């Protein structure tokens, strides 16, 4: 097996804590002496990463998770505080907006400067300059100083230069978030062609759609450490589920069983696919879901039972009650009641959900109790929304045929 294009081992980055001018001076003197300067803040720690030629890796995480720092370490912009990085190829990077451009030079002059840094001869530059200018598509601004450019124009010029050089490894940091829609589409088409031709990509984006579309692997950074790494669908779905739970109100009130026993109805037990645990094993997309609940009735009256599914952030997905469907819970010998609700093929898209069971009075007016079970649905779908609706594309050819594959 060939050596990885990029390999990071025990990679970390930390900065000295500086609150006063004397702290800065002490840190500088320590740096010049090749020593550490007392207390430091770690922004990245324990990164183990291998990227083979032809792979595509999505780098995801909250703001401040260490994504940009990791890219700067991989490209040599920063020096690691711990560990090491090996790169076996030519890198093309789009990191901070405007990095590598001279603001006083025109776009055309910056193209020439970038080409020289890439080792292009004058003949190679002459052959590719029109291609770069056409890709950037910024009109007469190509001959204006870069300091007059909008952020979108800077990204257009930077990506056009990268596209012309076709590096062994392309690293981009949120480039798709800055350009306008037509330029985003152009970049995506180019990156798809680049990957199809054997290129290697590390893409940072807060858009899980673009990560899933362009990458096969993903790395989730959280507070400077690796939270998850692997298949792009599994990692991005875990990341989205984390945000859904983060958005939800996690300070739910605990059930007071002594109080509940004095009420007319309460939930005695809930089993989902035979499991009683509060957090259930992950469910494959399209699998069956069986919800079984035992309801205690104080006076022997027949309860109405409501079953609902909500996304982890509280967004309602589906709810149904026994009286809506004209059925009653079955009586048990000890005076309890039992319901079983079965979904043959659950249409939920991958994500994090909560199953809720509520007993109501016989008239379906008063709610007495709520029991929740956390459910994760996994799968390789990049569709958006909450559920998958059955559909058929009419008069459409497979994408591979359109691309001539």
Question: Residue ranges of the domains in the chain?
Answer: 257-378
- Greater model confidence, 256 or 125: 125
Instruction: Identify the burial level of 82 via C-beta atoms within 10 angstroms of its C-beta, where 0-12 means exposed, 13-18 middle and 19 or more buried.
Output: middle
Average pLDDT over residues 335-347: 92
The predicted structure's pLDDT at residue 403:
41
Nearest to residue 298, comparing CAs of 329, 334, 268, 262? Answer: 262
- Give the residue, 22 or 217, on which the prediction is more confident: 217
- Position 97 scores a pLDDT of 60
Name the band, by pLDDT with cuts 50, 70 and 90, for residue 18: low
Q: How far is the C-alpha of 120 from the C-alpha of 140, rounded, in Å?
A: 24
pLDDT at 195: 92
Whether 379 contacts 286, CB under 8 Å? yes
The mean per-residue pLDDT over the stretch 323-332 comes to 91
pLDDT of residue 394: 86
What pLDDT does 54 receive? 92
Bigger pLDDT: 244 vs 216: 216
Q: Which of 267, 300, 236, 293 is nearest to 369 (CA)?
A: 267
pLDDT bracket for residue 177 (50, 70, 90) = low
Residue scoring higher pLDDT (102 or 338): 338
Q: Which pLDDT belongs to residue 55?
A: 93
In this predicted model, what pLDDT tens digit does every residue of 99-117 receive, in sequence order? 678 888 898 898 888 888 7
Q: Mean pLDDT for the chain?
A: 83
Kindly report the number of other CB atoms within 10 A of residue 156's CB atom.
26
> Facing residues of 307 across strands?
320, 357
Strand 371-378 and strand 304-311: pairing? Answer: unpaired
CB 145, CB 108: distance < 8 Å: no
Locate 201 and state its tokens: 């990509």
- What is the predicted pLDDT for the residue at 28? 62
Helix 151-165, helix 122-136: angle, nearest 10: 140
Cβ-based neighbours of 21, under 8 Å, separated by 6 or more:
none
CA distance 156 to 172: 13
pLDDT value at residue 202: 94
Residue 48, pLDDT > 70, answer yes
CB 169, CB 136: distance < 8 Å? no
Amino acid 53: pLDDT: 92
Find the range with the poorest average confidence among 20-24, 78-82, 252-256, 378-382: 252-256
Which of 160, 147, 149, 144 is closest to 94 using CA atoms? Answer: 160
Residue 38, pLDDT > 70, answer: no
CB 122 within 8 A of CB 42: no
Contact 100, 114 (CB under 8 A): yes
Question: Is a pLDDT exceeding 60 seen at residue 89?
Answer: yes
CA distances in angstroms from 351 to 214, 228, 316, 361, listed in the order given: 20, 16, 14, 32
Determine contact, residues 8/66, Cβ cutoff 8 Å: no
pLDDT tens digits, 267-323: 999 999 998 888 788 889 999 999 999 999 988 889 999 999 998 777 889 999 898
| Average pLDDT estimate for 341-348 | 92
Which two structure tokens, joined as six digits, stand for 205? 């984006």
List the beta bridge partners of residue 204: 59, 173
Asked if CATH classification 3.40.50.2000 holds for the domain at 257-378, the reply, yes or no, is no
pLDDT tier at 401 (50, 70, 90 boundaries)? very low
The β-bridge partners of 225 are 222
141 has which bridge partners?
none
Q: H or E segment at 200?
A: strand 200-204
Percent of the chain with pLDDT over 90: 29
Q: Residue 313: its pLDDT value, please?
A: 77
219 band by pLDDT with thresholds 50, 70 and 90: very high
**Which pLDDT score, from 0 to 100, does residue 61 have?**
92
Q: Which helix (H) or strand (E) holds 266?
A: strand 265-272
Please determine, for residue 402, whether its predicted confidence score (pLDDT) is greater than 60. no
Asked if 4 and 89 touch (Cβ cutoff 8 Å), the reply is no
Lowest mean pLDDT among 181-190, 191-200, 239-248: 239-248
- Kindly list the distances between the CA atom of residue 240 and the CA atoms of 11, 49, 169, 346, 353, in Å, as whole numbers in the listed order: 26, 22, 27, 19, 11
Q: Please report, for residues 45, 65, 78, 118, 297, the alpha-carbon distance to residue 91 in angstroms, rounded to integers and kept in the order given.
A: 23, 23, 15, 10, 69
The three-state secondary structure class of 298 is coil
Query: With 50 as the cut, is the pLDDT of residue 251 above it?
Result: no
pTM of the predicted structure, to 2 decimals: 0.65
- Residue 142 to residue 97: CA distance in whole angstroms: 17
Question: Quick one: pLDDT at residue 252?
Answer: 47
């Amino acid at each position: 097996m060939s050596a990885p294009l990029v390999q990071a081992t025990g990679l970390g980055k930390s900065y000295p804590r500086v609150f006063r001018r004397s702290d800065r001076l002490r840190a500088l003197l320590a740096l010049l002496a090749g020593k550490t300067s007392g207390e430091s803040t770690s922004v990245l720690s324990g990164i183990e990463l291998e990227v083979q030629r032809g792979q595509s890796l999505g780098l995801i995480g909250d703001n401040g998770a260490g994504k940009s720092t990791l890219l700067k370490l991989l490209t040599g912009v920063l020096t690691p505080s711990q560990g090491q990085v090996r790169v076996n190829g030519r890198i093309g990077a789009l990191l901070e907006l405007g990095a590598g451009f001279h603001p006083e030079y025109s776009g055309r002059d910056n193209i020439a400067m970038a080409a020289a840094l890439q080792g292009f001869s004058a003949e190679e530059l002459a052959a590719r300059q029109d291609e770069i200018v056409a890709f950037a598509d910024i009109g007469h601004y190509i001959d204006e100083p870069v300091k007059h450019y909008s952020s979108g124009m800077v990204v257009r010029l930077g990506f056009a230069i990268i596209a012309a050089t076709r590096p062994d490894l392309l690293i981009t940091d949120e480039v798709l978030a800055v350009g306008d829609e037509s330029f985003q589409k152009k970049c995506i088409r180019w990156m798809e062609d680049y990957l199809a031709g054997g290129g290697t990509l590390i893409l940072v984006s807060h858009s899980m759609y673009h990560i899933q579309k362009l990458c096969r692997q993903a790395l989730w950074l959280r507070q400077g450490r690796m939270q998850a790494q692997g298949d792009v669908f599994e990692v991005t779905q875990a990341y989205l589920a984390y945000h859904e739970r983060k958005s939800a109100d996690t300070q739910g009130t605990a059930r007071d069983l002594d109080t509940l026993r004095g009420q007319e109805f309460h939930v005695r037990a809930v089993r989902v696919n035979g499991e009683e645990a509060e957090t259930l094993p992950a469910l494959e997309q399209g699998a069956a879901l069986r919800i079984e609940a035992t309801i205690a009735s104080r006076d022997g009256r027949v309860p109405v039972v409501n079953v609902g599914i909500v996304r982890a952030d509280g967004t309602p997905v589906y709810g149904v009650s026994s009286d809506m469907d004209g059925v009653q819970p079955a009586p048990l010998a000890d005076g309890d009641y039992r319901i079983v609700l079965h979904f043959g093929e659950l249409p939920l898209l991958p994500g994090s959900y909560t199953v809720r069971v509520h007993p109501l009075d016989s008239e379906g007016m008063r709610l007495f109790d709520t029991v929740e079970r956390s459910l994760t649905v996994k799968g390789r779908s990049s569709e958006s929304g909450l559920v998958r609706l059955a559909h058929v594309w009419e008069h459409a050819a497979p994408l591979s045929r359109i691309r001539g594959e």
